[in-house]
């Protein structure tokens, strides 16, 4: 028998963050169900959020339920740290105060400490010189595993600079992992409003009102992928920010954004007064 649901947390965009009885965590997308039969009632997001766990599966008060085997088999499995990130971003979208990158880092570190209790040690802005940066946003030691975290929150309206900086941070994590300074790296990014439009879409404007025309090989848009091949550098280089030799991971790097909507102009957006967030990019 497949594991059953132990806990559930609904998100604003009709997904369920699930913890199963075997300790695994998964993300189940309910959007494909919303146009069918009794599940149409779930289109009311306030009703959708009334979901509870009953006898190992998820149910709603008007007798909608989902097969527990479907929930386990069709959910996208996530590690514990990624699950903490999703839950934090959902809470921020529900009104938890967070006005800066430092605040985001603190909230995330607090959640890590709560979850792992005495098994994790944390260090903010750990001094590590790499690619010109002096600090790692957050450093953790968990069960003898050294983990580095880089965060981006909002960014400025100059999409070119932000995109280059994003790629730069991911390259740093990979180099630190290659040098065995860390065993694992997480890149975490949240944004909203005009900044989200710049991050989510392949073609966007700079903060000076003109279209981005240089460094077009830097991108962060939804479903963007830096593909690994034996010959590729995988990440582009920038003459002033990250000209160093690229240490590439042995796999593709993909940008998958959560909590996004499609605007009338056919471009991706974040919902009004809400944040979109990146599925964690994990360097192993």
How many Å apart are CA 45 and CA 57, to the nearest integer?
19
Superfamily covering domain 5-77: NE0471-like N-terminal domain (3.30.2020.10)
Domain boundaries, the chain: 5-77, 80-283
Handedness of CA 35, 88, 7, 26 (dihedral sign): positive
Token code pair at residue 172: 């740093």
Q: How far apart are the first and last CA of the chain?
A: 31
How many Å apart are CA 66 and CA 31, to the nearest integer?
13
How many Å apart are CA 61 and CA 124, to the nearest integer?
44
> β-strands 268-269, 261-262: how paired?
antiparallel
DSSP state of 17: E
What pLDDT is attached to residue 131? 65
DSSP state of 243: -
pLDDT by position in tens, the chain (length 284): 889 999 999 988 899 999 999 989 999 999 999 999 899 999 999 999 999 999 999 999 998 999 999 999 999 999 999 999 999 999 999 899 999 999 999 999 999 999 998 899 999 999 887 766 688 999 999 999 999 999 999 855 556 778 888 988 998 899 899 889 999 999 999 999 888 888 899 875 544 444 444 556 788 999 999 999 888 778 887 776 666 666 788 899 999 999 998 888 889 999 999 999 999 999 99
What pLDDT is attached to residue 245? 63
Q: Which among 260, 279, 81, 246 has a CA at the least distance from the CA of 167? A: 246
What pLDDT is attached to residue 241? 67
What pLDDT is attached to residue 216? 66
> 258: helix, coil or strand?
strand
């Amino acid at each position: 028998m497949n594991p059953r649901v132990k806990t559930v947390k609904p998100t604003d965009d009709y997904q369920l963050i699930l913890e199963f009885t075997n300790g695994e965590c998964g993300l189940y997308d309910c959007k494909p169900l919303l146009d069918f039969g009794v599940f149409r009632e779930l289109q009311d997001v306030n009703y959708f959020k009334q979901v509870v766990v009953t006898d190992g599966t998820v149910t709603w008060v008007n007798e909608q339920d989902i097969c527990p085997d479907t929930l386990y088999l069709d959910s996208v499995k996530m590690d514990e740290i990624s699950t903490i990130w999703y839950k934090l971003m959902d809470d921020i979208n529900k009104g938890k105060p967070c006005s800066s990158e430092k605040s985001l880092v603190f909230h995330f570190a607090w959640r890590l400490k709560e979850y792992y209790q005495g098994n994790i040690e944390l260090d903010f802005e750990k001094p590590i010189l790499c690619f010109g940066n002096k600090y790692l946003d957050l450093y953790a030691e968990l069960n003898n595993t050294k983990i580095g975290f880089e965060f981006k929150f909002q960014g400025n309206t100059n999409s070119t600079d932000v995109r280059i900086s994003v790629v730069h941070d991911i390259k740093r994590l990979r180099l630190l992992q290659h040098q065995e300074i860390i065993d694992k790296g997480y890149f975490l990014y949240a944004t909203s409003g005009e900044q989200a439009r710049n991050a989510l879409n392949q073609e966007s404007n700079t903060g000076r009102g003109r279209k981005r025309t240089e460094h077009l090989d830097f991108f962060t848009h939804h479903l963007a992928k830096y593909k690994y091949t034996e010959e590729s550098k995988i990440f582009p280089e920038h003459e002033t920010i990250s000209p160093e030799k690229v240490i590439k991971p042995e796999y593709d790097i993909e940008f998958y954004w959560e909590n996004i909507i499609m605007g009338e102009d056919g471009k991706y957006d974040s919902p009004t007064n809400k944040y979109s967030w990146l599925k964690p990019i994990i360097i192993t």
